[in-house]
């Protein structure tokens, strides 16, 4: 149950943002084959590049229509060595958190223009083991593939919750796919083995994201699979990691993210969290 497919089937205008135009065209053709009347566009976007994010946002803003739903789901996982993006960010943090932060901020005028706006941020169950270290945010002092990945996915939850606090008129919700068989695990042999042994299909892993995209009353929550300790099965509300419930750190990360990306949210009357 792919979210893009289901949303297109429901009559939504869907834009698939992709790094690889060829794969994007293949996805578009697949959707058209299943839903001939689907209104699906493909647009180039590399979340590891602030220039690509800005170019995508500029094109989107040129379209005067509101954005009812944004699903932030790009992911890089457990790179064996520390690698930097073209902007000098550690690649996992740069792609998984900073790219999405900058994208959402630059699309904000069109998101805020919707009467039913929603932002879904896709995190991971690995966020439960994460720790955001503001003095080592770029993993320059010490780098560990899964440790750094976990930090980036916990950062997703800080972002989701802080957006929920600052923009109560917009539904901000997070989801995670559990143990799902995608190409995200290609850098981690342990993760690949775990998913093959105990996991579920990519289609099943998309259920929480789709639920987060359409369900009522989910603002500020974390949606994940129901069974096997939150690893597989139909979606339900999951418990947020305790570390994610620190509004002071969330506000600091938000400020640092604005400084690093050079992009600021324009949210009139935003309620800003403070360290207590």
Q: DSSP per residue over the chain, as a string?
A: --HHHHHHHTT-EEEEEES-HHHHHHHHHHHHHH-TT-EEEEEE--TT-HHHHHHHHHHHHHS-S---EEEE-------SS--B-TTS-BHHHIIIIIIHHHHHHHHHHHHHT-TT-EEEEE--GGGGG----GGGTT--S---HHHHHHHHHHHHHHHHHHHHHH-TTSEEEEE---SB-SGGGGG-HHHHHHHHHH-B-HHHHTHHHHHHHH-SS-TT-EEEEEETTTTEEEEEEEPPPGGGG-HHHHHHHHHHHHHHHT-----TT-------
The pLDDT assigned to 191 comes to: 53
Residue 242 lies in a domain: yes
Identify whether residues 5 and 75 lie together within a single domain: no
The band of 274, judged by pLDDT with boundaries at 50, 70 and 90, is low
Identify whether residues 109 and 39 lie together within a single domain: no
The answer to whether residue 211 is catalytic is: no
Residue 267 lies in a domain: no
Q: Of 44, 60, 78, which marks where a domain is finished?
A: 44
Identify whether residues 17 and 69 lie together within a single domain: no
Residue 127 structural domain:
48-261
Identify whether residues 244 and 144 lie together within a single domain: yes
Identify whether residues 193 and 83 lie together within a single domain: yes
| Residues 219-246 pLDDT 10s | 999 999 987 666 788 899 999 999 999 9
* Catalytic-labelled residue, pool 128, 149, 158, 211: 149
Number of folded domains in the chain?
2
Residue 164 lies in a domain: yes
| Residues 179-226 pLDDT 10s | 655 555 455 554 554 555 565 576 777 899 999 999 999 999 999 998
Residue 266 lies in a domain: no
Residue 272 lies in a domain: no
Identify whether residues 63 and 130 lie together within a single domain: yes
| CATH number of the domain bearing residue 174 | 3.40.50.720
The pLDDT assigned to 158 comes to: 98
More confident residue, 180 or 62: 62
Identify whether residues 160 and 35 lie together within a single domain: no
Identify whether residues 23 and 87 lie together within a single domain: no
Identify whether residues 23 and 102 lie together within a single domain: no
Sign of CA pseudo-dihedral 207, 211, 214, 220: negative
Region of poorest pLDDT, from 51-55, 73-77, 228-232: 228-232
């Amino acid at each position: 149950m792919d979210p893009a497919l289901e949303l297109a089937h429901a009559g939504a205008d869907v834009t698939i943002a992709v790094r690889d135009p060829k794969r994007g065209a293949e996805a578009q053709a697949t959707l058209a084959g299943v839903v001939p009347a689907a209104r699906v566009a493909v647009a180039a976007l590399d979340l590891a590049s602030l220039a690509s994010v800005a170019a995508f946002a500029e094109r989107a803003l040129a379209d005067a229509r509101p954005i009812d739903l944004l699903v932030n789901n790009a992911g890089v996982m457990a790179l064996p060595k520390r690698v930097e993006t073209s902007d000098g960010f550690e690649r996992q943090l740069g792609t998984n958190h900073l790219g999405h932060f900058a994208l959402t901020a630059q699309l904000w005028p069109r998101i805020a223009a919707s009467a039913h706006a929603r932002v879904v941020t896709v995190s991971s169950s690995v966020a439960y083991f994460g720790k955001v270290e503001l003095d080592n945010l770029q993993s320059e002092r010490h780098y560990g593939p899964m440790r750094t990945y976990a930090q980036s996915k916990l950062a997703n939850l800080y972002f989701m919750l802080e957006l929920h606090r600052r923009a109560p008129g917009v539904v901000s919700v997070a989801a995670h796919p559990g143990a799902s068989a995608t190409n995200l695990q290609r850098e981690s042999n342990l993760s690949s083995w775990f998913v093959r042994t105990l996991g579920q299909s990519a289609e099943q892993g998309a259920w929480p994201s789709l639920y987060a995209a359409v369900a009522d009353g989910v603002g500020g929550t974390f949606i994940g699979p129901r069974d096997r300790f939150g690893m597989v099965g139909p979606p339900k509300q999951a418990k947020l990691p305790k570390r994610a419930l620190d509004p002071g750190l969330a506000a600091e990360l938000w400020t640092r993210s604005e400084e690093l990306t050079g992009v600021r949210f324009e949210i009139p009357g935003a309620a800003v969290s403070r360290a207590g």
